[in-house]
Amino acid sequence: MPPGLRRRTPGLRREEVALLSGIGITWYTWLEQGRSINVSAQVLQSVARVLHFDAAERAHLFALAELPDPELPAASPQVSDATLAILRRLEPFPAVVIGDGFEILAGNRPHLGLIGDYTALPRYQRNILWLCFVDPHWRTLLHDWDDSSRRLVAKFRSDMAGHVGEPGWAELVTMLEARSREFRTLWRQHEVAPMEVCVKRYRHAEVGDLTVEVSHLWLADQRGVRLTVYTPVDAASTRAVARLCEVTPRQLLTTDTETAAS
């Protein structure tokens, strides 16, 4: 850096950040001031590099700009041994770990008994959104499938806003639009909804009717991954939930010829 005036505080001056980032001082000043300018991911990469941002600071910068980080590794979410132990200890309550793209990462025995054996499905079909619209059994399993499916699509759209430009999300939407007329209709309504505690009613072929409160616990070590727990709300539902551990999970049929290793 060329020598300048004596510094009153440590760190880079605004002019120096702009110079090292390869952008104009006026434009960088507008960026700092939060003006309505079109910032690119490449510019944000340069600023993050110059300011030596760590992973959390860099993620926050791109989130503020509502842009995907092109250098963000596309690592698959992992379920730790500790989380798997929590799933087992929650039995007989059904519980499942769901990724930020609504993919099913792990579930306990009563959840498999409630939903079916999704572990044998191809990876892209192990997804709550996919099962809701492609598996015909869900239409009878859920008492209020119409309302539940509408809110599920609205929640997915809300979450997708934080993943602009990520191909996996767009690919899932494209596949669902090709498979389900109901999904196409709901997706084009552009509704959004938060991820919230809700009550669901199930009509299970073996244990009977059950009503549960669905709660979400976010796992701090992975972005967007949540532990979802189904808690019975009355005595009859508690008895029905207790029997789910003994149910042989329903076999879920794959919709194509891909193998479970896909």
pLDDT tens sequence across 91-121: 999 999 999 899 999 999 999 999 999 998 9
193, pLDDT greater than 90: yes
Whole-model pTM over 0.75: no
105 three-state secondary structure: strand
pLDDT, mean of residues 186-205: 95
Cα separation, 135 vs 24, whole angstroms: 55
pLDDT, mean of residues 145-157: 96
Amino acid letter for position 145:
W
Instruction: Give kind and range of the element (H or E) at residue 232.
Output: strand 226-232
Q: What is the DSSP letter of 201?
A: E
Cα separation, 211 vs 228, whole angstroms: 15
CA dihedral 164, 169, 171, 177 (to 10 degrees): -100
pLDDT, mean of residues 211-239: 92
Select the more confidently predicted residue: 254 or 131.
131
Q: Could you tell me if 108 and 91 are in contact, meaning their C-beta atoms sit under 8 angstroms apart?
A: yes
Select the more confidently predicted residue: 68 or 129.
129
68, pLDDT greater than 80: no
ω into 249 cis (within 30 of 0):
no
pLDDT of residue 3: 59
Task: Calculate the average pLDDT of the chain.
Answer: 88
Q: Determine what percent of the chain is predicted with pLDDT higher than 70.
A: 90
What confidence category does residue 72 fall into, taking pLDDT thresholds of 50, 70 and 90? low
Q: Which of 75, 39, 66, 69 is nearest to 56 (CA)?
A: 69
pLDDT of residue 149: 96
pLDDT of residue 243: 97
* Domains parsed from the chain with CATH numbers: 14-65 (no CATH), 81-246 (3.30.450.180)
How many Cα atoms sit within 13 Å of 59 on the Cβ side?
A: 9
Cα separation, 186 vs 149, whole angstroms: 9
Instruction: Give kind and range of the element (H or E) at residue 218.
Output: strand 208-218
Q: Which of 160, 226, 230, 150 is nearest to 198 (CA)?
A: 230
What confidence category does residue 222 fall into, taking pLDDT thresholds of 50, 70 and 90? confident
Q: Could you tell me if 75 and 170 are in contact, meaning their C-beta atoms sit under 8 angstroms apart?
A: no
Using left for φ > 0, alpha for ψ between -120 and 50, and beta otherwise, residue 258 falls in beta
